[in-house]
A and B are shown apart, each in its own frame.
Chain A
């Protein structure tokens, strides 16, 4: 089975069901994620995204169906699955009492790697955290904490990474930072399964997008394929989101274009009205 891993999808989910008491969270989920791709699982709160990620990362057992990750069945070979994955959960799983550097060393030691100190220094540099490396993680901004969180997930170069709502709660700059990181990961050949409730995030990052709604995948395809399905009004709504963000980024002096002039009314641009 492991011999033809390259030909198999990195993640294969077939008929996964999960209930919590009377609540049927997942009602038969099917999806394949190709190795080296970024796969976005899109859905509103309570759609079951986190439950599916928890099943795939061996934190939860499914009631029915099968799932294989990197060729290993999650129920039968959880140990092998854990060797192949990293989970970045919904809430940044960093140790706030430890420094950024100590967090990285901790994970490197738990993965039984040689030279944990060198690994930590390398990742601090890659994630622009060298300066902050000796500070407690509790002093980090949301974006820095998430970057540290993702850096911790990269230790040991797992072939598959799960990112559960990696940008929820981040400001626009933080989101852009995380997006860049994810793109670089996929360039390096890592398979990324990320969940998000933000349309533009899926649009920015994903090779394939699946929409999870009420416990089943209702659509699964590339962005172009999905766009063809959506009524035009919806498309316009999606495209409006990044433009507000561009304005914000331009105003606070980050990336993006600087055309702030198209405001005929009385300059009430930064009203802080987040449409999401």
Chain B
């Protein structure tokens, strides 16, 4: 059966990509909130925030905005997976001679494609609003790599939510804290401006190291130890979420 993993995953991925093409509003909705935030922060709050660096505010906050984009985008992955489970098509797939892991991988790959498109839209708007970077192709690829890891880690969290949710709302509600996390990080203001306990949390939560890494990459500054902390968080979350998701899946289909 394992010989079919790739072809089955391909067939099922093209199915759920077709879902997205037929309701492009999911991608647009995903991009609209971060774009609104970006406008708000750049043109309303940004002037009052002292970032302590000489880069423009949009350059400063874009990394955080990109993470918010992905965090809100993965809610749709949980939503689509939940609908499959509810609708009975999941049972149909499971009763067919197909590679069983392909059902999940199709959703994961679709999530990756959809989120990268949303991220590209947000970056496009940011460029219009004055975002500039002298980053080389190699640096862009590094940023893309980090965003892909971030998407995968969060997508497997979304798979857990989609598999274990009892209601549609429950399937997507898990993403709210993830969307909120960048606000208590270095994404919009430097952490040393925050009161003690908040600053401690902000400095030690994953988003800060990821934001700092992407920001340094775009500004062509040394990334320091942040990149290793960021990678440790990303890979760690990915491995744990993947393990949990597949365990729940296996229990569900056994």
Inter-chain CA distance A89–B84, complex, in Å, is: 13
Specify which chain B residues have a CB less than 8 angstroms from the CB of A109 in the assembled complex: 7, 11
Contact residues, A53-99 vs B (CB, 8 A): 54, 57-59, 61, 79, 82-83, 85-87, 89-98
Surface stretch bound by A, among B88-96, B205-213, B239-247 = B88-96
- Decide: A112 and B89 in contact? CB cutoff 8 A: no
Q: Are B4 and A97 in contact (CB under 8 A)?
A: no
The answer on a CB contact under 8 Å between A59 and B98 is no
Task: Find chain A residues with CB under 8 A from B89 CB.
Answer: 93-95
Cβ of A27 to closest chain B Cβ, rounded Å: 22
Contact present for B87 and A87 (CB under 8 Å): no
Most chain A CB within a 10 A radius of its CB, from B11, B12, B19, B92: B92
Tell me if A82 and B15 are in contact (CB < 8 A). no
Q: Is the CB of A61 within 8 A of B254?
A: yes
B134 proximal to A (CB < 8 A) = no
Contacting pair B253 A59 (CB below 8 A): yes
Q: List chain A residues, Cβ under 8 A from B1.
A: 79
Whether B11 contacts A96 by the Cβ 8 Å rule is: no
Q: A109-B11, A111-B96, A111-B97 are in contact. Are A93 and B254 (CB under 8 A)?
A: no
Q: How many residues of A are in contact with the other chain, CB < 8 A?
A: 29
Q: Size range of the interface on B? A: 20 to 34
B88 touching A92, Cβ below 8 Å: yes
Separation of A83 and B4 alpha carbons in the complex (Å): 14
How far is it, in angstroms, between the C-alpha of A152 and the C-alpha of B89 when the chains are bound? 11
Q: Is the interface of B mostly helix, strand, loop or mixed?
A: helix
A17 within 8 A of B: no
> Complex: how many Å from CA A59 to CA B1?
17
Shortest beta-carbon distance, A89 to chain B, in Å? 5
Query: Considering residues B12, B23, B96, B253, which has the most beta carbons from chain A within 10 angstroms of its beta carbon?
Result: B96
Shortest beta-carbon distance from A105 to chain B in Å: 9
* Residue in contact with B87 in the complex, picked from A54, A91, A111, CB distance below 8 Å: A91
Chain B residues with Cβ below 8 Å from A91 are 87-88
Which residue of A59, A98, A107 is within 8 Å of B94 (Cβ)?
A59
Query: Is B93 touching A110 in the complex (CB atoms < 8 A)?
Result: yes
Chain B proximity of A69: nearest CB distance (Å): 11
Q: Please indicate the chain A residues that have their CB under 8 angstroms from the CB of B95 in the complex.
A: 57-59, 82, 85-87
B15 lies within 8 A of A98 (CB): yes
> With A59-B91, A61-B254, A87-B91 given, is the CB distance from A95 to B97 under 8 Å?
no
Q: Which of B19, B93, B94 contacts A97 (CB 8 A)?
A: B19
A110 to B7, CA, bound (A): 8
B 77-90 to A, binary, CB cutoff 8 A, 1 in contact else 0: 00000000001110
Instruction: Give Cα distance in the complex from A13 to B95, angstroms.
Output: 18
Q: Which of A87, A90, A97 touches B22 (beta carbons < 8 Å)?
A: A97
Which chain B residues (1-21) contact chain A, with CB distance < 8 Å? 1, 4, 7-8, 11-12, 15, 18-19
Q: Is the CB of A95 within 8 A of B15?
A: yes
Report Cα–Cα, A187/B93, bound state, in Å. Answer: 27
Within 8 Å CB of A96, what residues of B? 87
B contact residues around A94 at 8 Å (CB): 89
Could you tell me which residues of chain B, from 55 to 109, have a CB within 8 Å of some CB in chain A? Answer: 87-89, 91-98
A201 close to B (CB within 8 Å): no
Which 6 A-B pairs give the minimum distances between C-beta atoms?
A93-B88, A93-B92, A87-B95, A82-B97, A91-B88, A57-B95
Pairs across A and B, CB under 8 Å, 6 listed: A59-B95, A79-B1, A91-B88, A93-B92, A97-B23, A112-B7
Given contacts A87-B95, A98-B15, 5 further A-B contacts (CB under 8 A): A57-B95, A90-B88, A93-B91, A98-B18, A110-B96
